[in-house]
Structure 1
Amino acid sequence: MSIQFNYRYGIAAILLFLVEVFIATILKDIFFVRAYLGDVLVVILLYAFVRSFICMDEVRLILGIFLFSCMIETAQYFNIAERMGFERGSIMYIIIGNSFSWIDIVCYAAGCMILYGVAKLKS
């Protein structure tokens, strides 16, 4: 593992973030896009963000992102955003989320499988 800025992943992370904002603000009424595609893309966004600063084993990073995503989803089950005092609609409330869903975990797994497939194609 080494720390080094990778502008390609940095640009990808920025673009994916903008897509996520677009989904959350403009496409919010299109259920499939908001509920599923956004969750698939968020793990890819996390991957690109981490890879923009850290060069490490791809499989470990993908597994770590999946576990992190599952931890956040589990925190949603326990209403962690409300317990931390974040108000509904606040940016932190939106980032953390407010409802647990097994389907979200499936979406995170799908995003990680896409990342893994791309990683294997590159090698």
Structure 2
Amino acid sequence: MKLQFNIKYLILTILLFLTEVIIATALKNVFFVRAYLGDVIVVILLYTFVKSFITIDNTKLITGIFIFSCIIEFAQYFNVAEKAGFQKGSLMYIVIGNSFSWVDIACYAIGCLFLYLIIKVAENKSFQPEN
């Protein structure tokens, strides 16, 4: 792991963040998008954010993001945001969340698996011999 700025990942991070904002605001009444797609995208957003500043093994990073996402989800089960005194609607209350869901964990797993597969396909294409 080493610190190294990557503008491409930062641009992707910004685009994914804006996508999440649109999902949370303009598409909040579109159930599938709000309930599932946002959770799939958020793990990809975390990946691109970390890769914007750090060079790290992709598999380790994806695994770490999945574990982190599960920890946040289980924090919701134990109402950590409320117990920590965060006010409803505050940034930290929104980040931690307030309702545990196994479906959310499945969405995080799908996002991580999708990310892993995309990276493996890209790696395999870059190592193909030229004809």
- What TM-score does the superposition give when structure 2 sets the normalisation length? 0.92
Q: Does 1:86 align with 2:86?
A: yes
Deviates more, 1:61-70 or 1:85-94: 85-94
Deviation at 1:51, TM superposition (A): 0.3
State the partner residue of 2:128.
none
State the partner residue of 1:2.
2
State the partner residue of 1:30.
30
Deviation at 1:120, TM superposition (A): 0.4
State the partner residue of 2:97.
97
Q: Which amino acid in the other structure matches residue 72 of structure 2? A: I
SS in 1 for 2:103: helix
Query: How many aligned positions are there?
Result: 123
CA distance in 2, matches of 1:44, 1:71: 17
Deviant stretches of 4+, over 3 Å: none
- Bigger Rg over Cα: 2
Q: Does 1:112 align with 2:88?
A: no
Deviation at 1:2, TM superposition (A): 1.3
State the partner residue of 2:72.
72
- What does the per-residue CA deviation read over 1:91-114, in whole Å, with 9 as the maximum and x for residues that have no partner? 211111100000000000000001
Please give the root-mean-square deviation of Cα atoms over the aligned residues, in Å.
0.6
CA distance in 1, matches of 2:8, 2:72: 27
Q: Percent of aligned pairs with the same residue?
A: 66
CA distance in 2, matches of 1:9, 1:57: 15
